[in-house]
Amino acid sequence: MIQLQSISKYFEEVTAVDHVSFRIEKGDIYGLLGPNGAGKTTTIRMLMGILEPDEGEIIWNGNSISREDRVNFGYLPEERGLYQKQKLKETLQYFGRLRGVSGKELNSEIDMWLERFDFSDSAGRKIEELSKGNQQKVQFILALLHKPDFIILDEPFTGLDPINQVLLKDIIQKKREEGVTFIFSTHQMEQVERLCTNICLINKGKILIEGSLSAVKEKHRKNAVTVKYEGELKNDNLEQFFPEFQNDNCELSGVLKTPTTDFLDWLNKQVEIISFTQSTPTLEQIFIEEVHSAI
C-alpha cells in the first residue's frame, strides 16, 4: 500500500502540486490523470524520490517511504532513457544489475522477456536500430525485470500498435493478479477505462476527482444526455450547455454543464424531440467537463 498525505511541491512562485492526497491498495491499477502541466510528472517524481515534497509525506506499507523501499519500484518514464549505442541484451543486463538482479536469475528473466516480446533474434542489435515501438517495449521490460511490487507506467502505450497494446495490457493484468500495484498515467482515456479500478484527476496541482472509476462515472451519469430530434440545431447555440458535444444527423450527445431542466426548456423551443435519454458518460467526457469547470 502507498499513500500520499497532503504532498506539495513549489518551484519559486509556481505551485506544481498542491496538497495532493490519495491511497493506492495492493493489487490496484490506479489512473493518475490530468491535462498537460497538471502536476502528474511532478507527483510521479516525488513518488520515485527524484524530487522531495516541500510539504506532506509519502507512506509505504505503513511507514514513511525510504530510499530502500524505492529500490523495489519499477518505472517506465514518458521520455525514453535508453543508451542508443548499446545492444539490446546488454541494456537489459546492465539495468538488471543496477536493480540488484544478477547471474542465472537475471539471464533467465531476460531470456523469458525476450521471447515474450519476440526479441530473441534482436538481442544483439543496438537500441538505435529498433523502432520507437520496440524501444518502448524495452523500457516496459526494464520496469518489470527486477520483479517489483509497485510499478509506475507513464504513457506506456506510446508508439505501440494495437497488437502490442493488447500484449502490454495482458501482462499488466497478469501482474495485477499476482499482487503487483500500478500507477498508470496517460492521456488515452479509453485505456484507463479498460484497465483502472481507481482514478485521480488533477489540474493545476489540485485534485478534481478521486475514487473508484465506477463511482466517478455514476456520479456524472445524470448529466450525460443523448437526444434524437427533428429540426436544426446550430453548434454555436449548444456551447452554452455543453463543454464538449457531438451533434450529427439529428443526434446530440454530451455532458451537460447546466441543469437538465434548463436545457430541456430551451431545446423544446428549438426542435421536435424524438427521444431523450440520460447515460453514463465516458471518462473522456468527464475529464473534459471537470477540467473546463475548473478554469
* Res. 223 pLDDT band, cuts 50 70 90: confident
Residue whose cell numbers read 543496477: 98
The set of cell numbers assigned to 280 is: 453514463
- For domain 2-212, the CATH architecture is 3-Layer(aba) Sandwich (3.40)
Fold of 218-294: Alpha-Beta Plaits (3.30.70)
* Res. 246 pLDDT band, cuts 50 70 90: very high
pLDDT given at position 164 = 93
In this structure, which amino acid lies at residue 36? Answer: N
170-188 burial code (b ≥16 CB/10 A, e <16): ebbeebbeeebbbbbbbeb
Share of the chain above pLDDT 70, in %: 100
208-237 burial code (b ≥16 CB/10 A, e <16): bbbeebeebbeebeebbbebbbeeeeeeee
Q: In what order do the strands lie in the sheet with 224-230?
A: 245-248, 251-255, 224-230, 272-278
* Mean pLDDT in residue range 247-271: 93
Express each pLDDT in 93-122 by its tens digit: 999 999 889 889 999 999 999 999 999 899
* Res. 220 pLDDT band, cuts 50 70 90: confident
Mean pLDDT (the chain) is 92
- Tell me the β-bridge partners of 60: 2, 63
Share of the chain above pLDDT 90, in %: 76
pLDDT given at position 151 = 97
Who wins on pLDDT, 39 or 218? 39
* Res. 78 pLDDT band, cuts 50 70 90: confident
Q: Is the pLDDT of residue 167 over 80?
A: yes
Residue whose cell numbers read 447546466: 258
pLDDT given at position 241 = 94
Helix, strand, or coil (residue 222): helix
Asked if the domains at 2-212 and 218-294 fall in one CATH topology, the answer is: no
Backbone angles phi, psi at 53, to 5 degrees: -65, 140
pLDDT given at position 190 = 87
Q: Where are the alpha helices (DSSP H) in the chain?
A: 40-48, 67-70, 88-98, 103-116, 132-144, 162-177, 189-195, 213-220, 235-238, 260-268, 283-294
What is the DSSP code (8-state) at residue 128? G
pLDDT given at position 295 = 65
The residues spanned by each domain of the chain are 2-212, 218-294
